Structure 1
Protein backbone atom coordinates (compact mmCIF):
# COMPACT_ATOMS: atom_id res chain seq x y z
CA UNK A 1 0.00 0.00 0.00
CA UNK A 2 1.26 3.47 -0.94
CA UNK A 3 0.54 6.61 1.05
CA UNK A 4 0.79 10.29 0.23
CA UNK A 5 2.34 12.96 2.44
CA UNK A 6 -0.91 13.17 4.43
CA UNK A 7 -0.78 9.44 5.24
CA UNK A 8 -3.73 8.74 2.95
CA UNK A 9 -3.71 5.51 0.90
CA UNK A 10 -3.25 6.06 -2.84
CA UNK A 11 -3.08 3.91 -5.99
CA UNK A 12 0.02 2.29 -7.41
CA UNK A 13 2.28 4.46 -9.52
CA UNK A 14 2.00 4.10 -13.30
CA UNK A 15 5.41 4.77 -14.81
CA UNK A 16 5.96 6.45 -18.19
CA UNK A 17 2.23 6.73 -18.81
CA UNK A 18 1.15 7.78 -22.31
CA UNK A 19 -2.16 8.25 -24.08
CA UNK A 20 -3.40 5.24 -26.04
CA UNK A 21 -3.78 4.91 -29.81
CA UNK A 22 -6.87 4.49 -31.93
CA UNK A 23 -7.49 1.00 -33.28
CA UNK A 24 -5.92 0.71 -36.72
CA UNK A 25 -5.92 -2.79 -38.13
CA UNK A 26 -7.34 -4.32 -41.30
CA UNK A 27 -7.28 -8.02 -40.44
CA UNK A 28 -6.64 -10.27 -37.44
CA UNK A 29 -5.85 -13.77 -38.70
CA UNK A 30 -6.87 -16.83 -36.71
CA UNK A 31 -7.08 -20.54 -37.39
CA UNK A 32 -10.85 -20.77 -37.91
CA UNK A 33 -11.72 -17.11 -38.55
CA UNK A 34 -10.45 -13.82 -39.86
CA UNK A 35 -11.56 -10.67 -38.10
CA UNK A 36 -11.61 -7.94 -40.75
CA UNK A 37 -12.37 -4.25 -40.51
CA UNK A 38 -15.78 -3.51 -41.97
CA UNK A 39 -15.83 -2.80 -45.71
CA UNK A 40 -18.40 -2.89 -48.50
CA UNK A 41 -17.29 -6.37 -49.60
CA UNK A 42 -18.99 -7.68 -46.47
CA UNK A 43 -22.36 -6.11 -47.24
CA UNK A 44 -24.04 -8.99 -49.06
CA UNK A 45 -23.25 -11.56 -46.36
CA UNK A 46 -24.13 -9.21 -43.52
CA UNK A 47 -27.50 -8.39 -45.06
CA UNK A 48 -28.42 -12.05 -44.69
CA UNK A 49 -28.31 -11.80 -40.88
CA UNK A 50 -29.13 -8.10 -40.45
CA UNK A 51 -31.76 -7.74 -43.19
CA UNK A 52 -35.46 -8.71 -43.40
CA UNK A 53 -34.73 -12.45 -43.14
CA UNK A 54 -32.71 -12.10 -39.94
CA UNK A 55 -33.55 -13.66 -36.60
CA UNK A 56 -35.64 -10.99 -34.78
CA UNK A 57 -34.24 -12.09 -31.41
CA UNK A 58 -30.85 -10.77 -32.51
CA UNK A 59 -32.05 -7.18 -32.00
CA UNK A 60 -33.77 -7.47 -28.62
CA UNK A 61 -30.94 -5.91 -26.62
CA UNK A 62 -29.22 -3.60 -29.12
CA UNK A 63 -30.23 -0.10 -30.28
CA UNK A 64 -30.81 -1.38 -33.80
CA UNK A 65 -33.59 -3.07 -35.75
CA UNK A 66 -33.46 -5.41 -38.73
CA UNK A 67 -33.02 -3.54 -41.99
CA UNK A 68 -36.06 -3.75 -44.25
CA UNK A 69 -34.36 -2.76 -47.51
CA UNK A 70 -30.91 -3.15 -49.00
CA UNK A 71 -30.78 0.58 -49.77
CA UNK A 72 -31.28 1.37 -46.09
CA UNK A 73 -28.62 -1.18 -45.13
CA UNK A 74 -26.16 0.11 -47.74
CA UNK A 75 -26.52 3.63 -46.31
CA UNK A 76 -25.78 2.27 -42.82
CA UNK A 77 -22.70 0.46 -44.16
CA UNK A 78 -21.30 3.53 -45.88
CA UNK A 79 -21.78 5.60 -42.74
CA UNK A 80 -20.12 2.97 -40.53
CA UNK A 81 -17.08 1.96 -42.55
CA UNK A 82 -14.74 4.79 -41.59
CA UNK A 83 -15.92 5.41 -38.03
CA UNK A 84 -13.20 5.54 -35.39
CA UNK A 85 -15.68 4.77 -32.62
CA UNK A 86 -17.24 2.28 -32.92
CA UNK A 87 -14.48 0.57 -34.87
CA UNK A 88 -16.44 -2.27 -36.43
CA UNK A 89 -15.08 -5.69 -37.35
CA UNK A 90 -16.65 -8.51 -39.35
CA UNK A 91 -16.05 -12.15 -38.46
CA UNK A 92 -15.23 -14.28 -41.53
CA UNK A 93 -15.57 -18.06 -41.30
CA UNK A 94 -12.46 -19.41 -43.03
CA UNK A 95 -14.17 -22.57 -44.30
CA UNK A 96 -17.07 -20.85 -46.07
CA UNK A 97 -15.37 -17.50 -46.63
CA UNK A 98 -18.58 -15.79 -45.53
CA UNK A 99 -19.20 -13.03 -43.02
CA UNK A 100 -21.10 -14.61 -40.12
CA UNK A 101 -21.16 -11.85 -37.51
CA UNK A 102 -19.73 -8.55 -36.41
CA UNK A 103 -18.15 -7.09 -33.29
CA UNK A 104 -16.59 -3.74 -32.53
CA UNK A 105 -14.41 -1.65 -30.27
CA UNK A 106 -16.25 1.34 -28.81
CA UNK A 107 -16.29 3.95 -26.03
CA UNK A 108 -12.59 4.32 -26.73
CA UNK A 109 -10.94 6.47 -24.06
CA UNK A 110 -7.40 7.06 -25.20
CA UNK A 111 -6.58 9.28 -22.20
CA UNK A 112 -7.21 6.49 -19.69
CA UNK A 113 -6.52 3.58 -22.08
CA UNK A 114 -9.93 1.96 -21.63
CA UNK A 115 -11.96 0.37 -24.41
CA UNK A 116 -15.16 -1.66 -24.75
CA UNK A 117 -16.17 -4.71 -26.74
CA UNK A 118 -19.52 -3.93 -28.35
CA UNK A 119 -21.66 -4.23 -31.46
CA UNK A 120 -21.79 -7.98 -30.90
CA UNK A 121 -24.19 -9.27 -33.55
CA UNK A 122 -23.76 -12.96 -34.32
CA UNK A 123 -25.65 -14.82 -37.02
CA UNK A 124 -27.01 -18.21 -36.02
CA UNK A 125 -24.03 -19.72 -37.88
CA UNK A 126 -21.63 -18.09 -35.40
CA UNK A 127 -23.43 -18.36 -32.07
CA UNK A 128 -21.95 -20.84 -29.56
CA UNK A 129 -19.09 -21.87 -31.88
CA UNK A 130 -15.34 -22.20 -31.67
CA UNK A 131 -15.17 -19.45 -34.28
CA UNK A 132 -17.00 -16.98 -32.05
CA UNK A 133 -14.58 -17.58 -29.19
CA UNK A 134 -11.55 -17.28 -31.44
CA UNK A 135 -12.82 -13.98 -32.85
CA UNK A 136 -13.14 -12.60 -29.33
CA UNK A 137 -9.69 -13.91 -28.45
CA UNK A 138 -8.10 -12.22 -31.47
CA UNK A 139 -9.57 -8.83 -30.62
CA UNK A 140 -8.68 -9.20 -26.95
CA UNK A 141 -5.09 -10.01 -27.91
CA UNK A 142 -4.99 -6.93 -30.14
CA UNK A 143 -6.34 -4.68 -27.38
CA UNK A 144 -3.84 -5.80 -24.74
CA UNK A 145 -0.74 -6.63 -26.77
CA UNK A 146 -0.80 -4.12 -29.64
CA UNK A 147 -2.85 -1.19 -28.37
CA UNK A 148 -1.73 -1.93 -24.79
CA UNK A 149 -4.92 -0.69 -23.21
CA UNK A 150 -5.30 -1.11 -19.44
CA UNK A 151 -8.99 -1.96 -19.19
CA UNK A 152 -11.26 -3.90 -21.55
CA UNK A 153 -14.97 -3.55 -20.84
CA UNK A 154 -18.14 -5.48 -21.67
CA UNK A 155 -21.53 -3.89 -20.99
CA UNK A 156 -24.96 -5.36 -21.58
CA UNK A 157 -28.62 -4.98 -20.71
CA UNK A 158 -29.18 -6.46 -17.26
CA UNK A 159 -31.81 -8.78 -18.77
CA UNK A 160 -29.44 -10.02 -21.48
CA UNK A 161 -28.21 -13.06 -19.56
CA UNK A 162 -26.74 -14.63 -22.71
CA UNK A 163 -24.40 -11.68 -23.20
CA UNK A 164 -23.41 -11.52 -19.54
CA UNK A 165 -22.73 -15.27 -19.44
CA UNK A 166 -20.67 -15.03 -22.63
CA UNK A 167 -18.50 -12.35 -21.04
CA UNK A 168 -18.02 -14.37 -17.85
CA UNK A 169 -17.06 -17.41 -19.93
CA UNK A 170 -14.44 -15.32 -21.76
CA UNK A 171 -12.87 -14.29 -18.46
CA UNK A 172 -14.51 -10.94 -17.75
CA UNK A 173 -15.27 -10.06 -14.12
CA UNK A 174 -18.74 -8.80 -13.19
CA UNK A 175 -18.46 -5.40 -11.50
CA UNK A 176 -22.06 -4.42 -10.88
CA UNK A 177 -25.27 -3.03 -12.38
CA UNK A 178 -25.73 0.63 -13.29
CA UNK A 179 -29.41 1.33 -12.66
CA UNK A 180 -31.40 3.52 -15.09
CA UNK A 181 -28.26 3.74 -17.21
CA UNK A 182 -30.06 4.59 -20.45
CA UNK A 183 -33.32 4.59 -22.37
CA UNK A 184 -33.54 2.73 -25.66
CA UNK A 185 -36.41 1.41 -27.74
CA UNK A 186 -38.74 3.30 -25.41
CA UNK A 187 -37.72 1.36 -22.31
CA UNK A 188 -35.37 1.60 -19.38
CA UNK A 189 -32.05 -0.21 -19.42
CA UNK A 190 -30.11 -1.19 -16.33
CA UNK A 191 -26.59 -1.97 -17.57
CA UNK A 192 -24.30 -4.71 -16.29
CA UNK A 193 -20.60 -3.83 -16.35
CA UNK A 194 -17.81 -6.39 -16.69
CA UNK A 195 -14.11 -6.03 -17.39
CA UNK A 196 -10.71 -7.59 -17.88
CA UNK A 197 -7.65 -5.55 -16.91
CA UNK A 198 -4.14 -5.75 -18.30
CA UNK A 199 -2.68 -7.61 -15.31
CA UNK A 200 -5.22 -10.42 -15.87
CA UNK A 201 -4.59 -10.84 -19.57
CA UNK A 202 -1.64 -13.25 -19.58
CA UNK A 203 -3.34 -15.91 -17.46
CA UNK A 204 -6.62 -15.53 -19.34
CA UNK A 205 -4.76 -15.73 -22.64
CA UNK A 206 -3.30 -19.13 -21.69
CA UNK A 207 -6.77 -20.34 -20.71
CA UNK A 208 -8.29 -19.25 -24.03
CA UNK A 209 -5.41 -20.75 -26.00
CA UNK A 210 -5.84 -24.07 -24.18
CA UNK A 211 -9.53 -24.15 -25.03
CA UNK A 212 -8.97 -23.16 -28.68
CA UNK A 213 -6.24 -25.78 -29.15
CA UNK A 214 -6.96 -28.59 -31.61
CA UNK A 215 -6.27 -31.00 -28.75
CA UNK A 216 -9.46 -29.79 -27.06
CA UNK A 217 -11.71 -30.87 -29.95
CA UNK A 218 -12.61 -34.32 -31.22
CA UNK A 219 -12.83 -35.41 -34.87
CA UNK A 220 -16.38 -34.03 -35.05
CA UNK A 221 -15.36 -30.61 -33.75
CA UNK A 222 -16.93 -31.09 -30.32
CA UNK A 223 -15.13 -29.63 -27.33
CA UNK A 224 -13.61 -32.03 -24.82
CA UNK A 225 -13.44 -29.51 -21.98
CA UNK A 226 -15.61 -26.41 -21.66
CA UNK A 227 -14.03 -22.99 -21.38
CA UNK A 228 -16.06 -22.25 -18.25
CA UNK A 229 -14.48 -25.25 -16.50
CA UNK A 230 -10.94 -24.07 -17.25
CA UNK A 231 -9.60 -22.06 -14.34
CA UNK A 232 -7.51 -18.94 -14.71
CA UNK A 233 -4.21 -19.60 -12.96
Structure 2
Protein backbone atom coordinates (compact mmCIF):
# COMPACT_ATOMS: atom_id res chain seq x y z
CA UNK A 1 0.00 0.00 0.00
CA UNK A 2 1.21 3.51 -0.77
CA UNK A 3 2.81 5.54 1.96
CA UNK A 4 0.32 8.24 2.90
CA UNK A 5 2.43 9.91 5.57
CA UNK A 6 2.53 13.15 3.60
CA UNK A 7 -1.09 13.09 2.43
CA UNK A 8 -2.67 16.49 3.01
CA UNK A 9 -6.38 17.35 3.31
CA UNK A 10 -7.88 18.10 -0.07
CA UNK A 11 -9.73 21.23 -1.05
CA UNK A 12 -13.51 21.36 -0.89
CA UNK A 13 -15.31 20.79 -4.23
CA UNK A 14 -15.83 24.52 -4.82
CA UNK A 15 -18.29 26.37 -7.00
CA UNK A 16 -16.67 26.72 -10.41
CA UNK A 17 -18.81 25.55 -13.37
CA UNK A 18 -17.47 22.72 -15.53
CA UNK A 19 -18.04 22.62 -19.28
CA UNK A 20 -17.87 19.65 -21.64
CA UNK A 21 -18.75 19.01 -25.24
CA UNK A 22 -22.42 18.17 -24.71
CA UNK A 23 -23.16 19.49 -21.22
CA UNK A 24 -22.27 21.96 -18.51
CA UNK A 25 -22.29 21.13 -14.80
CA UNK A 26 -23.00 24.23 -12.78
CA UNK A 27 -22.88 24.39 -8.96
CA UNK A 28 -26.16 25.80 -7.69
CA UNK A 29 -25.54 29.09 -5.87
CA UNK A 30 -28.98 30.70 -6.14
CA UNK A 31 -32.54 30.08 -7.34
CA UNK A 32 -31.95 31.03 -10.98
CA UNK A 33 -32.26 27.44 -12.28
CA UNK A 34 -35.17 26.32 -10.09
CA UNK A 35 -37.94 27.07 -12.60
CA UNK A 36 -36.02 25.23 -15.33
CA UNK A 37 -35.59 22.22 -13.09
CA UNK A 38 -39.26 22.20 -12.11
CA UNK A 39 -40.31 22.34 -15.77
CA UNK A 40 -37.93 19.51 -16.72
CA UNK A 41 -38.94 17.31 -13.78
CA UNK A 42 -42.62 17.96 -14.46
CA UNK A 43 -42.34 16.02 -17.73
CA UNK A 44 -42.41 12.93 -15.49
CA UNK A 45 -46.16 13.00 -14.93
CA UNK A 46 -46.14 9.74 -12.96
CA UNK A 47 -43.63 11.09 -10.43
CA UNK A 48 -41.30 8.11 -10.85
CA UNK A 49 -38.26 10.39 -10.57
CA UNK A 50 -38.88 10.63 -6.85
CA UNK A 51 -39.55 6.95 -6.13
CA UNK A 52 -36.15 6.31 -4.56
CA UNK A 53 -35.42 9.78 -3.18
CA UNK A 54 -36.36 10.86 0.36
CA UNK A 55 -38.49 13.76 -0.98
CA UNK A 56 -40.96 14.52 -3.75
CA UNK A 57 -43.02 14.54 -5.81
CA UNK A 58 -44.17 18.14 -5.44
CA UNK A 59 -47.68 19.49 -5.83
CA UNK A 60 -46.72 22.64 -7.69
CA UNK A 61 -43.94 25.08 -8.55
CA UNK A 62 -44.09 26.84 -5.18
CA UNK A 63 -43.70 23.56 -3.29
CA UNK A 64 -40.72 22.62 -5.43
CA UNK A 65 -39.08 26.03 -5.00
CA UNK A 66 -39.48 25.86 -1.22
CA UNK A 67 -37.86 22.41 -1.24
CA UNK A 68 -35.08 23.53 -3.60
CA UNK A 69 -34.20 26.52 -1.45
CA UNK A 70 -33.89 24.30 1.63
CA UNK A 71 -32.05 21.47 -0.11
CA UNK A 72 -30.12 22.69 -3.15
CA UNK A 73 -28.72 25.70 -1.26
CA UNK A 74 -27.82 23.82 1.93
CA UNK A 75 -24.38 24.16 3.50
CA UNK A 76 -21.74 21.39 3.35
CA UNK A 77 -23.17 19.88 0.17
CA UNK A 78 -22.67 21.14 -3.38
CA UNK A 79 -25.63 20.55 -5.68
CA UNK A 80 -24.95 20.86 -9.40
CA UNK A 81 -27.40 21.69 -12.15
CA UNK A 82 -26.87 19.56 -15.26
CA UNK A 83 -27.37 21.69 -18.38
CA UNK A 84 -27.30 19.97 -21.80
CA UNK A 85 -25.87 22.12 -24.57
CA UNK A 86 -28.83 21.13 -26.74
CA UNK A 87 -31.27 23.07 -24.55
CA UNK A 88 -29.16 25.43 -22.43
CA UNK A 89 -31.56 24.72 -19.58
CA UNK A 90 -31.12 22.75 -16.36
CA UNK A 91 -32.55 19.24 -16.72
CA UNK A 92 -31.07 17.42 -13.75
CA UNK A 93 -29.12 17.66 -10.52
CA UNK A 94 -26.34 15.75 -8.77
CA UNK A 95 -24.60 16.64 -5.51
CA UNK A 96 -21.11 16.19 -4.15
CA UNK A 97 -21.79 15.30 -0.55
CA UNK A 98 -20.42 13.75 2.64
CA UNK A 99 -17.07 15.16 1.63
CA UNK A 100 -14.21 14.03 3.87
CA UNK A 101 -11.33 16.32 2.96
CA UNK A 102 -8.93 14.81 5.48
CA UNK A 103 -9.17 11.38 3.84
CA UNK A 104 -9.82 12.49 0.27
CA UNK A 105 -13.29 10.96 -0.03
CA UNK A 106 -16.53 12.32 -1.46
CA UNK A 107 -19.81 10.95 -2.79
CA UNK A 108 -22.16 11.73 -5.66
CA UNK A 109 -25.77 11.66 -4.53
CA UNK A 110 -29.24 13.19 -4.83
CA UNK A 111 -29.09 12.31 -8.52
CA UNK A 112 -32.28 13.30 -10.31
CA UNK A 113 -32.40 13.37 -14.12
CA UNK A 114 -35.43 14.62 -16.05
CA UNK A 115 -36.82 12.29 -18.74
CA UNK A 116 -35.20 14.49 -21.40
CA UNK A 117 -31.75 13.89 -19.88
CA UNK A 118 -31.95 10.19 -19.10
CA UNK A 119 -29.89 7.81 -21.24
CA UNK A 120 -28.17 10.63 -23.13
CA UNK A 121 -24.52 11.32 -23.85
CA UNK A 122 -24.94 14.57 -21.92
CA UNK A 123 -25.90 12.67 -18.76
CA UNK A 124 -22.88 10.39 -19.06
CA UNK A 125 -20.57 13.31 -19.71
CA UNK A 126 -21.97 15.16 -16.68
CA UNK A 127 -20.86 12.34 -14.39
CA UNK A 128 -17.51 12.20 -16.17
CA UNK A 129 -17.00 15.92 -15.52
CA UNK A 130 -17.73 15.42 -11.82
CA UNK A 131 -15.28 12.51 -11.69
CA UNK A 132 -12.64 14.59 -13.42
CA UNK A 133 -13.11 17.33 -10.84
CA UNK A 134 -12.90 14.90 -7.93
CA UNK A 135 -9.79 13.05 -9.11
CA UNK A 136 -7.87 15.36 -11.46
CA UNK A 137 -8.61 18.79 -10.02
CA UNK A 138 -8.98 17.99 -6.32
CA UNK A 139 -6.84 14.87 -5.97
CA UNK A 140 -9.32 12.80 -3.98
CA UNK A 141 -8.62 9.12 -3.31
CA UNK A 142 -12.15 7.71 -3.36
CA UNK A 143 -15.46 8.61 -5.05
CA UNK A 144 -18.61 6.90 -3.78
CA UNK A 145 -22.06 6.10 -5.15
CA UNK A 146 -24.80 4.81 -2.82
CA UNK A 147 -28.40 3.90 -3.52
CA UNK A 148 -31.33 1.88 -2.27
CA UNK A 149 -30.52 -1.77 -2.92
CA UNK A 150 -33.87 -2.09 -4.69
CA UNK A 151 -33.10 0.73 -7.12
CA UNK A 152 -31.96 -1.40 -10.04
CA UNK A 153 -31.58 1.49 -12.55
CA UNK A 154 -29.24 3.30 -10.15
CA UNK A 155 -27.26 0.15 -9.45
CA UNK A 156 -26.86 -0.50 -13.17
CA UNK A 157 -25.83 3.12 -13.75
CA UNK A 158 -23.12 2.87 -11.08
CA UNK A 159 -21.60 -0.19 -12.73
CA UNK A 160 -21.85 1.31 -16.22
CA UNK A 161 -20.03 4.43 -15.06
CA UNK A 162 -17.19 2.39 -13.58
CA UNK A 163 -18.01 2.24 -9.88
CA UNK A 164 -17.35 -1.11 -8.20
CA UNK A 165 -19.88 -2.80 -5.95
CA UNK A 166 -18.67 -3.08 -2.36
CA UNK A 167 -21.64 -4.50 -0.47
CA UNK A 168 -25.01 -3.75 1.13
CA UNK A 169 -25.58 -1.98 4.44
CA UNK A 170 -28.71 -3.66 5.79
CA UNK A 171 -31.40 -1.57 7.53
CA UNK A 172 -29.29 1.50 6.88
CA UNK A 173 -32.07 4.10 6.69
CA UNK A 174 -35.80 4.69 6.95
CA UNK A 175 -37.03 6.47 3.81
CA UNK A 176 -40.65 7.49 3.30
CA UNK A 177 -41.76 5.10 6.01
CA UNK A 178 -39.95 2.01 4.71
CA UNK A 179 -36.64 0.30 5.29
CA UNK A 180 -33.73 1.09 3.00
CA UNK A 181 -30.85 -1.33 2.57
CA UNK A 182 -28.08 0.69 0.94
CA UNK A 183 -25.86 -0.65 -1.85
CA UNK A 184 -22.37 0.87 -1.81
CA UNK A 185 -20.20 1.46 -4.88
CA UNK A 186 -16.92 3.33 -5.27
CA UNK A 187 -14.07 4.10 -7.63
CA UNK A 188 -10.51 4.78 -6.48
CA UNK A 189 -7.81 7.12 -7.69
CA UNK A 190 -5.63 4.35 -9.12
CA UNK A 191 -8.61 3.07 -11.14
CA UNK A 192 -9.39 6.50 -12.55
CA UNK A 193 -6.81 6.76 -15.41
CA UNK A 194 -8.23 3.72 -17.22
CA UNK A 195 -11.81 4.81 -16.57
CA UNK A 196 -11.01 8.31 -17.79
CA UNK A 197 -9.52 6.99 -21.03
CA UNK A 198 -12.66 4.95 -21.63
CA UNK A 199 -14.91 7.96 -21.14
CA UNK A 200 -12.80 10.09 -23.46
CA UNK A 201 -12.91 7.44 -26.19
CA UNK A 202 -16.65 6.87 -25.77
CA UNK A 203 -17.40 10.61 -25.86
CA UNK A 204 -15.40 11.13 -29.07
CA UNK A 205 -17.29 12.41 -32.10
CA UNK A 206 -16.42 9.27 -34.05
CA UNK A 207 -18.40 7.15 -31.58
CA UNK A 208 -21.74 8.74 -32.50
CA UNK A 209 -23.70 8.51 -35.71
CA UNK A 210 -25.46 11.35 -37.51
CA UNK A 211 -28.54 11.03 -35.30
CA UNK A 212 -26.46 11.11 -32.11
CA UNK A 213 -26.70 7.38 -31.38
CA UNK A 214 -23.69 5.64 -29.88
CA UNK A 215 -21.72 3.28 -32.10
CA UNK A 216 -19.96 1.43 -29.28
CA UNK A 217 -21.23 1.21 -25.71
CA UNK A 218 -19.15 2.49 -22.82
CA UNK A 219 -18.72 -1.09 -21.63
CA UNK A 220 -17.53 -2.21 -25.05
CA UNK A 221 -15.01 0.64 -25.22
CA UNK A 222 -13.57 -0.35 -21.85
CA UNK A 223 -13.45 -4.02 -22.81
CA UNK A 224 -11.58 -3.23 -26.02
CA UNK A 225 -9.04 -1.15 -24.13
CA UNK A 226 -8.49 -3.72 -21.36
CA UNK A 227 -5.20 -5.62 -21.48
CA UNK A 228 -5.48 -9.22 -22.65
> With structure 2 as the length reference, what TM-score do the two structures score?
0.92
Given that residues 51 and 69 in structure 1 are in contact (C-alpha distance below 8 angstroms), is that contact kept between their aligned partners in structure 2?
Answer: no
> Higher mean Cα deviation, 149-158 or 25-34?
25-34
The residue aligned with 2:132 is 141
Alpha-carbon deviation of 1:226? 0.4
The residue aligned with 2:19 is 29
Alpha-carbon deviation of 1:81? 4.7
SS of aligned partner of 1:229:
helix
Higher gyration radius (CA): 1
The residue aligned with 1:159 is 150
Deviations 1:204-227 (A, max 9, x none): 000011001101001111110001
1:12 and 1:44, CA in 2 relative to 1: closer, same or farther beyond 3 A?
Answer: same
Structure 1: segments with no counterpart, 5+ residues: 1-10
Alpha-carbon deviation of 1:83? 2.8
The residue aligned with 1:92 is 83
1:131 and 1:106, CA in 2 relative to 1: closer, same or farther beyond 3 A?
Answer: same
- Give the Cα separation in 2 of the matches to 1:55 and 1:204: 35
Q: Say what the alpha-carbon RMSD is for the aligned residues.
A: 1.7
The residue aligned with 2:120 is 129
SS of aligned partner of 1:107:
strand
Alpha-carbon deviation of 1:54? 4.5
Given that residues 44 and 115 in structure 2 are in contact (C-alpha distance below 8 angstroms), is that contact kept between their aligned partners in structure 1?
Answer: no
- Give the Cα separation in 2 of the matches to 1:160 and 1:136: 18
The residue aligned with 1:106 is 97
Aligned residues: 223
- Give the Cα separation in 2 of the matches to 1:161 and 1:135: 20
> With structure 1 as the length reference, what TM-score do the two structures score?
0.90
Pick the aligned partner of 1:174 from 159, 165, 176.
165
